[in-house]
Structure 1
Amino acid sequence: MYMALFNIAGFAMLGWLLLILLPAWKVTRWIARTAVFPVFLSILYLVGISAVLMRTGPGIMSDFGNAEGVLRVLRDADIALVAWIHILAFDQLVALMIYRENMEHRYVPLPVQSVLLFFTLMFGPVGFLGYYLLRAWSRSRRQRQAVPAETEPAVGRVAATDGVAAAVRTSAAGVLGVFRREWLLTATGVLGLLLGMGCAIAIGVRGTELVGAEGHLRKAMAFDVAVGIYLLTLVLLVPLAKFSRGGVWAWRVSLALLSLYAYGMENVQIARGIDPRFTRVGSVTDQILGGVFFLTATGMIVSFIILAWKVLARRMDGADGPLLLSLRYAALATMGAFAAGFWMSAVSGSRAGEASILPLHAAGFHGLQALPLVAILLTWAGVPSERARGWIHAAGAAWLAACAAIAWQTAQGRPLTDFTPAAAITVASLLAWAAVAALAARTWLRGGGTAAPGAVRVQAAL
């Protein structure tokens, strides 16, 4: 029974995904207003703790008065599972508190809110502490600027005096416009997120990720979400490519078809218990389809190269020069991710000795989000292009150094958890990127979040 309660509790992940990814959606607001998922988890906890107390008696509560008692109680697997549901319920309550208050007062921009909610999901008190400190800083800044609390905007409305919220609203409107224009790729990317969510629910219901001899639902979930995020990121780059009307149509349709085939192969084959790429138990047809899967991945690489060529061929002396510079570094990191994919194909798996090649694969692709983020924040902050270029060079070099260090560690066949010079360089490089990103965010926030003229031109391009 306790394992069943634990598996059913996995449905609450849907609430987290909506709070983090779609904070302004009316369904998300309804979920936050009704607290449906914390209530759901609380009911599961009530069932579990009632069963525990019926088995052990109320005397078990005395064990929570000292460390030895807590350790003794949590050695019981059933009690540990119920305790985990307890944690899940209160983590979501904290997340709802952050969401409700910030959606009303906008102490932090929505992207920052999503990051804080992610940390609340993963590390509970760390997310709350981050929000508490940022809220205190925002309140202090508003008091210094003599902005009364009662004039703060409600959800869906932004006061003219709130520069941060106005900048977020303006940039969000531009981004939503791009997604609407590129509806085919947007829908294909969202499909990946939904498929990943379905895999997560299937794991929770089944109690295992394994399907048959070779199927791993967790791999399908990671693949679906990764491709979805990748496509949604590329959508934002399309306006910078300056495609012709016919060219952009051919590019978007071909990429959408390739992605749909990849989704189908990954999910259908794994649901059948077959490795979609390197099957050893499938039929000859399955092996041929795996070869087509490889060609599909190659086609997606070609589509990226076409987009990158169109974007990076542009001169960088305009208003969007800092963004184009960041995309050059991001393109290099992405090509490293594709190289990692070919590496996995060459060894017919994701392992190199005791190391996984997947971290290198992921680090390269996430450069597409991490590096343009720095450029966008600097542009919104109105930092002069020459000064912004120095920051972007630092962030780009740090990210590429981290990717190179991960590749070095992986080539040695050692997992990233092993402390080596390569692992130390990886950590130091990622911290260096994080420092530049934090400085860019701080510069934007301290400037009131008001976009400079250059930022307006970049948003117009989007």
Structure 2
Amino acid sequence: MATIRARGRKRRRPNDATLRSMTTTALRAGPRRWHRPLLTLTAAMAVLALVTAAGLAVDDRTLLGANVWLKPFKFAVSFAVYGFTLAWILSVLPRRSRPAEWASTVIVAVSVIEVAIITFQAARGHRSHYNDTTPFDSLLWSIMGSSIMVLFVAHLVVATVALRQRLPDRVAAYGIRLGLALALLGFLAAVPMVMPMDTGLAGISGAHAVGVPDGGPGLPLTGWSTTGGDLRIGHFIGMHGLQALPLLAFLLTRSRLATPTQTRLLLTAAFAYAAVVVIVTWQALRGQPLLEPDFATLTAAGAVAATTLIAVTLIVKSAPKHGPALPGGAPARNSAGDRG
């Protein structure tokens, strides 16, 4: 009798194709699974991006060598992508989590505060970041600084919830968790920007450029310095790990590789991605432009590239063979370790 029950339990265990179907069902669930404040933030930032894009076209005022509307435009696009990604992540979690939903609502609030100040200061033709030139400007910058800290803590709460919950698809779970972790690394890469420093400018208490003043020659659109280090690079790359790792996980699940192989490849990619964030931040802290790496930077980048290539080669070569694809495109598994 016990053997019959055990066999029954074994037969009821879902295979990888079933698990992916469960994840797809969660993705296609009704609005109840989507965090509405985050979707509202996404829509609001999309509208602001259009408005500021119009400002770029009709207003020729400049600040630190760039159009005054460029910064609010970039922040609007960034927060639209960030808000939608978090809303998607919450929709995929198998159980609703009040701490994660509350933290996400906090993220919406502080994001609105930060972007509102950036846009208001742009309209005035004033710097928003590091600006202590007047008591009012200092107050706005202080509010922004506090908002950034709250945003980091709230993001950490969401990441912790995603780490604790058991998502049906193992590869997707790794992609989401690693993406959230890389975004946290992106937050940390921005810390040196807000540290008190002597910029040589009255009333300016921080900078994103290293070795040169903010607002010098920069790359198109991003504005990243071409004459000195720029801390925004590591911050940007790290934050967008939130999209890169889940996207890579999705692509891997479409392959015919076994689940353990997909997971190992995803972990390898995450370590390589994190190493890139560290390297470009280290490069910026030494006052070095992104496109003018010295020998030390090239050596570090080469070591990461070589290690990643070797790891990927070994993982793929050691991947177990498997049979024909199951219905729905998922490959059949030939070993117990492939059940995920």
- TM-score scaled by structure 2? 0.69
- Match of 2:293, SS? coil
Residue in 1 aligned with 2:116? 264
Equivalents in 1 of 2:235, 2:247: separation in Å? 20
- Match of 1:276, SS? coil
Task: Quote how far apart the aligned CAs of 1:428 are.
Answer: 8.1
Maintained 8 Å contact 2:34/2:91: no
Residue in 2 aligned with 1:322? 171
- Match of 1:349, SS? coil
Task: Quote how far apart the aligned CAs of 1:240 are.
Answer: 4.6
Cα deviation, 1:405-430, whole Å, max 9, x if unaligned, reads 11221121101110324256548858
Find the partner of 1:229 among 74, 81, 91.
Answer: 81
Residue in 2 aligned with 1:131? none
Equivalents in 2 of 1:328, 1:400: separation in Å? 13
Residue in 1 aligned with 2:130? 278
Equivalents in 1 of 2:117, 2:266: separation in Å? 38
* 2:300 is the alignment partner of 1:422: no
Equivalents in 1 of 2:78, 2:188: separation in Å? 16
Maintained 8 Å contact 2:45/2:80: yes
Find the partner of 2:140 among 284, 289, 295.
Answer: 289
* 2:277 is the alignment partner of 1:403: yes
Q: 1:390 to 1:252 in 2, by over 3 A?
A: closer
- Match of 2:130, SS? coil
* 2:188 is the alignment partner of 1:339: yes
* 2:239 is the alignment partner of 1:365: yes
Aligned-CA RMSD value: 3.7
Find the partner of 1:301 among 152, 167, 175.
Answer: 152
Maintained 8 Å contact 1:209/1:218: no
Q: 1:449 to 1:356 in 2, by over 3 A?
A: farther
Structure 1, unpaired ranges of 5+: 1-166, 441-446, 455-462
Task: Quote how far apart the aligned CAs of 1:199 are.
Answer: 1.7
Aligned residues: 275
* 2:249 is the alignment partner of 1:375: yes
AA aligned opposite 2:150: G
Q: 1:252 to 1:404 in 2, by over 3 A?
A: closer
* 2:209 is the alignment partner of 1:351: yes
Task: Quote how far apart the aligned CAs of 1:332 are.
Answer: 3.3
Task: Quote how far apart the aligned CAs of 1:289 are.
Answer: 2.0
Equivalents in 1 of 2:148, 2:39: separation in Å? 19
Residue in 2 aligned with 1:452? 330
Query: What fraction of aligned residue pairs are identical, expressed as a percent?
Result: 21
AA aligned opposite 2:44: L
Q: 1:322 to 1:180 in 2, by over 3 A?
A: closer
Task: Quote how far apart the aligned CAs of 1:250 are.
Answer: 2.5
Task: Quote how far apart the aligned CAs of 1:251 are.
Answer: 2.8
AA aligned opposite 1:259: S
- Match of 1:381, SS? coil
- Match of 1:221, SS? helix
Residue in 2 aligned with 1:311? 162
Find the partner of 2:70 among 218, 221, 237.
Answer: 218
AA aligned opposite 1:330: G
Find the partner of 2:42 among 178, 182, 189.
Answer: 189
Maintained 8 Å contact 2:26/2:91: no
Structure 2, unpaired ranges of 5+: 1-19, 198-205, 212-227, 317-324, 333-340
Choose 1 or 2 for highest CA Rg: 1
Maintained 8 Å contact 1:363/1:403: yes
- Match of 2:190, SS? helix
Q: 1:186 to 1:426 in 2, by over 3 A?
A: farther
Equivalents in 1 of 2:257, 2:299: separation in Å? 32
Residue in 2 aligned with 1:35? none
Maintained 8 Å contact 1:212/1:273: no
Q: 1:200 to 1:209 in 2, by over 3 A?
A: farther
Higher helix share: 1
